[in-house]
A and B are shown apart, each in its own frame.
Chain A
Amino acid sequence: MTDRTTIDRTSHLELEQHEKTFLDSNELIINMGPQHPATHGVLRVILKLDGEKVLGTECVIGYLHRGVEKIAEHRTYTMFNPYVDRMDYVAAVSNGLGYCEAVEKLLNLEAPRRAQYIRVILTELNRLASHMLWLGTHALDIGAITPLFYTFRDREEILKIFEKYCGARLTTHAFRIGGCSYETYDGFEREIKKFLDFVTPKIDEYEELLTTNRIWLERTKDVGKISAKECVALGVTGPVLRASGVKWDLRKAQPYAAYADFDFDIPVGENGDTYDRYMVRMQEMRQSLRIIDQAIGKIPDGPIMAKVAKVMKPPIGEIYHSIEAPKGELGYFIVSDGSTQPYRVRVRPPSFVNLQALDMMVRGALVADVIAVIGTLDIVLGEVDR
């Protein structure tokens, strides 16, 4: 030990003898990403640092820009449906639900009850899958490796249900405009009930790993704080907004699909820090299970598709419809000119708007907290860049 201290001292002295190096300047600009495992995709953050302290950030996005909104103008309403799955690819079912419902509103039709129940079940399963992926990767970023294996193991069961239902695991294209194109498979209800029994204790298991874990608490408590007022001003929605104490969920505020039929709570936090956002999402997973449990028992009989014309020509007009995606408010603004193709489709992505809050949340924090905050915002770059 003595040797090491002496060596340290000499090197320090040597440094002092030098003339000013770039290290003497207080501010340092460093680049995080786009190829960085903790940025969850291709996000580049330019950090302005004073030592370990973050003075400011700038996000550089667009690496995954595919021009989804432009493509929409050149496809028919039906043809554009699979494209929306490629935005938030960890919650593809939610994207599809939002788009289908928006076009249905524009066409002034409603999906049959049976289809709406199937939609709710699949969307909630997808919310669960999305939160599981978030939990695994977010914990991994902070240094807890174990939850990743747990959540990916259990998420697999959800993907298996999707695969059995519609043949795809991620970009599911599960819904069609006017309902669902697939009837539930044999044993659908039984399998989902089995899954509910399987996954309920698993969520307690995740919590056991983290909720009272001292390292986890140190890394998340009071990190990346954002107040309710700031959330509203910055347009932040979803679990981030709720963790700051705003009890607002579109499933309750402006119910869509069959959500009005179910009994569930909106979990809220108090401090708006990373720990509260973790707690909100954990409770949301339980609420999703509650919704699925209610829905699975009473799926109504009947058709799964409304009567929809083969060639869809919505009347001239525009619609904005939004749903509560796992990340926040996902909205579609569609302008119809009366032809078979939308005149304009605008997607209001929750990740894009939420990411705007990053700068405010990390100012004055440490570099390691930037990683925690990116994780806790739960962004998907496919949706940020579209």
Chain B
Amino acid sequence: MIGRLKGQHGSGLRETNTYLGQKYIVADSSLIPELLRVLRDQEQFDYCVDITAVHYPDREKQFELVWILYSFPHNERIRVKASYSETESVPSSVPIWPAANWLEREVFDMFGIRFEGHRDLKRILLPEGWKGHPLRKDYGIIQQDQEWVQINLGIESGQ
């Protein structure tokens, strides 16, 4: 499978490897929409397990998006990874897997990454109007949107 993908996309796949028995692909961000579609349509990765991100503030492209996919026919998992900068938006995979809807909303909520083509991209776990994206590394662990807490809960913020 990896060989087939490499033949098709060549240089766009930066790394294809296995770590602790788990396959992963690091791809060029420009290749992502096409690659995800190929994985579902041709390689039968019909179940989108999870979409998440990791923040690396020191890198030029700070956010690494991770798609965890599973194939029911082959009983196989794969991780697809690609890096994006703060200003770039990620193509939404809701048209490919409807499951991506809430998963992408959570990534947006926690990291502030925008998904291009997502119809209902808004916060999901935090209240609307909250400022900041908590899973970024520069967001402190006891940090809060104090203004929001004061207005909506009527309490002085603080632990």
A residues engaging B (CB < 8 A)? 61-62, 65, 67, 69-71, 73-74, 105-106, 108, 232-236, 246, 248, 253-254, 317-320, 322, 329, 331, 333, 335, 343-344, 346, 348, 352-353, 355-356, 385-386
> Does A233 lie within 8 Å of B99, measured CB to CB?
yes
What per-residue 1/0 map shows which CB atoms of B34-50 lie under 8 Å from chain A?
A: 00000000000011111
Q: Which of B19, B46, B68, B99 has the most CB of A within 10 A?
A: B99
Is B117 in the interface zone, CB < 8 Å from A? no
Residues of B near A385 (CB, < 8 A) are: 125
Task: Check A333–B68 contact: CB distance below 8 A.
Answer: yes
B120 to chain A minimum Cβ distance, whole angstroms, is 9
Which chain B residue has the least Cβ–Cβ distance from A229?
B46
Contact A356 B49 (CB under 8 A): no
**Which of B1-9, B72-80, B82-90, B150-158 is near enough to bind chain A?**
B72-80
List chain A residues, Cβ under 8 A from B72: 232, 246, 248
Q: Which residue of B lies closest to A385 (CB)?
A: B125
CB<8 Å pairs between A and B, sample of 24: A61-B124, A62-B124, A62-B125, A65-B125, A69-B135, A74-B141, A233-B46, A233-B97, A235-B97, A235-B103, A248-B72, A318-B79, A319-B19, A331-B49, A333-B52, A333-B66, A343-B54, A344-B54, A344-B135, A346-B66, A348-B68, A353-B99, A353-B102, A355-B102
- Closest chain-B Cβ to A323's Cβ sits at a distance in Å of 13
Residue in B20, B101, B103, B139 whose beta carbon sits within 8 Å of that of A319 in the complex: B20
A106, A246, A356, A385: residue with the most chain B Cβ atoms closer than 10 Å: A356
A136→B20 CA distance, assembly (Å): 41
A73 contacts across to B, CB distance below 8 A = 141
- Given the known interface contacts A108-B20, A248-B72, A317-B19, the answer about A348 and B99 at a Cβ–Cβ threshold of 8 Å is no
**Neighbour of B20 across the interface among A246, A317, A322, CB < 8 A:** A317
- Contact, CB under 8 Å: A232 / B141: no
Instruction: Answer whether residue B126 sits at the interface, using C-beta atoms and an 8 A cutoff.
Output: yes
> How many angstroms between the C-alpha atoms of A374 and B144 in the bound complex?
32
Rank and list the top 4 A-B pairs by shortest CB-CB distance, nearest first: A235-B99, A62-B125, A348-B50, A346-B52
Q: With a CB–CB cut-off of 8 A, which chain A residues contact B50?
A: 320, 331, 333, 346, 348
- Complex: A25 Cα to B49 Cα, angstroms: 41
- Would A105 and B103 count as touching, CB distance under 8 A? no
- Nearest opposing residue in chain A for B79, CB measure: A320
In angstroms, Cα B97 to Cα A235, docked, is 8
Inter-subunit contact A61/B125 (CB<8 Å) = yes
Q: Does the CB pair A353–B134 fall under 8 Å? A: no
For the complex, give the distance between the alpha carbons of A234 and B46 in Å: 10
Q: Are A62 and B134 in touch, CB under 8 angstroms?
A: no
- Which of B20, B48, B106 is packed against the most chain A CB atoms within 10 Å? B20
B20 — which chain A residues lie within 8 A by C-beta? Answer: 105-106, 108, 317, 319
Q: Is B33 an interface residue (CB 8 A)?
A: no
Q: When chains A and B are docked, how far (Å) is the Cα of A204 from the Cα of B66?
A: 45
Residues of A within 8 A of B49 (CB): 235, 320, 322, 329, 331, 348
